[in-house]
Amino acid sequence: MNNANQPSKDKQAEKLLREVLSYKPASFYTEKYKHREPVIDSLPTLTWKEIASSPLDDRIYTTEKLFLKIAYRDNTPFLVGRSFTDIVRENYGNKDVVRPFITFPYRHESMEKGFWFYEHNILPLITLEDLRLSTTIAAKYDIDSFISSMESAKRFLPALSKLLPVNALKEIRIIDTSFDLNFLFSYADPSKYTLILGQPDCGALAEACPELLLQKKLVFHVDDNTLLEPMKNTLCTRLFLLPTPLFRYETGIATHRVEATCSCKNADTVMLD
């Protein structure tokens, strides 16, 4: 693993893994890692199919109240647990905004991001199914930021731009695994965007370097709370306790590691293939 941050992230992952393995009410990881040493890069990878086929209660590693999401891979649904405690640790929002508008293709995705804002005492407007109604209400609420997936951005930005100056928003945050920069930059300046590499089953993993984004280059700094192993099927380990934890999870995202050419201090840098 060719990264200076990796050893400390490995240690964090192993510490978390020991914690998870000692949690008695759930059996998913004790079964999966039976007879294995908790050395992170020697562990077998985790697939969405294993998650989808395991009983929910076997893989819940918390007693907190849970908000469950339905994630889809290969058009197969499976359950992912979230709690207020872990949602707040995600890179889902900007604490400087006061009237965010959230829209994702699935209701639970929008709600999850909404909880992030609630936990920071910011009142979000969650999208409605109806495009015209949503945008009318967004204009009425005088939104100052827009949080969405790429698919929802393509649906909502054209309509929103007819009702309010999109470029005047404080932030447009897109959370997804592919980004259409030409489309996005046709609605607002690159400086308005925060692009997050993430997906419903594993959360926010990395953030596009704002400095390089100004040059229309899409290079991601991996979040401190994530251990990313770039490859064709990039592996992620979340370094804080998710209710349904992820260790070396096959994200299905193709990435490769790159040398950081920016002045940011985060050298854990990847690009999408």
Partner 1 sequence: MKYLTKKDINKRIFGLEQYIPGSESVKDLSIKVTSGTSGYGPTVIVEKSAVEERTPRYLALLQNRLLRIGSQNANAYSSVNLALRHSNVKMVLVPDAKDLEHPGIGKIIQMFEPTELYSAPPSYMILILQRLKLKKPFPFNKLKYVFVSGGMVTTSLKDKIHALLPNLLECINEYGSAEGGSIAFSCPYLNTAYEDSDIPTFHPIPTMNIHIINPDEHSGIGEVVLTTHELKNYRTGDAGKITTEECPCGLKQTLRLYGRIDYDIVSCAGAIFTLPEIDKIFSSLEETVRDYRIELKDVFDNLTLHGEITIRIVPTTHVDTPEQFKKEIVEKLARELYVTPTRTLEELVKDGIFFQPTVLLEDEIVHGRKEIHLKKIVS
The answer to whether the beta carbons of residues 203 and 88 sit under 8 Å apart is no
Own/partner contacts of 128-131, CB < 8 Å, gap of 24 or more, are 131/155, 131/156, 131/159
From the CB of 70, what's the least distance to partner 1, in Å? 5
Instruction: Pick one of 84, 159, 161, 218: the residue that binds partner 1 (CB under 8 A).
Output: 84
Taking CB under 8 A as the rule, does residue 79 contact partner 1? yes
Taking CB under 8 A as the rule, does residue 76 contact partner 1? yes
Look at residues 208, 213, 214, 204 and name the one whose alpha carbon lies nearest to residue 239: 204
Taking CB under 8 A as the rule, does residue 65 contact partner 1? yes
Sheet holding 203-208, edge to edge: 125-126, 100-103, 145-148, 171-176, 193-199, 203-208, 220-222, 269-272, 255-257
Q: How far is it, in rounded angstroms, from Cα 76 to Cα 91?
A: 26
DSSP conformation letters of 167-231: GGSSEEEEEES---HHHHHTTS-GGGEEEEEEETTTEEEEEE-HHHHTTT---EEEPTTEEEE-S
Residue placing its CB nearer to partner 1 in the complex, 126 or 231: 126
Taking CB under 8 A as the rule, does residue 66 contact partner 1? yes
Q: How many residues bind partner 1 (CB under 8 A)?
A: 38
Instruction: Pick one of 33, 106, 185, 240: the residue that binds partner 1 (CB under 8 A).
Output: 106
The answer to whether the beta carbons of residues 55 and 81 sit under 8 Å apart is no
Q: Which of helix, strand or coil describes residue 42?
A: helix
Instruction: Pick one of 6, 110, 177, 255: the residue that binds partner 1 (CB under 8 A).
Output: 110
Among positions 3-62, residues that touch partner 1 (CB under 8 A) are: 55-56
Among positions 129-148, residues that touch partner 1 (CB under 8 A) are: 129-130, 133, 136-137, 140-141
From the CB of 186, what's the least distance to partner 1, in Å? 27
From the CB of 257, what's the least distance to partner 1, in Å? 35
From the CB of 77, what's the least distance to partner 1, in Å? 5
Among positions 165-194, residues that touch partner 1 (CB under 8 A) are: none
Taking CB under 8 A as the rule, does residue 67 contact partner 1? yes
**Greatest extent of the chain over all pairs of C-alpha atoms, in Å:** 60
Where on the chain is the footprint of partner 1 (CB under 8 A)? 55-56, 65-68, 70, 76-79, 81, 84, 98, 105-108, 110-111, 114-115, 118, 121-130, 133, 136-137, 140-141
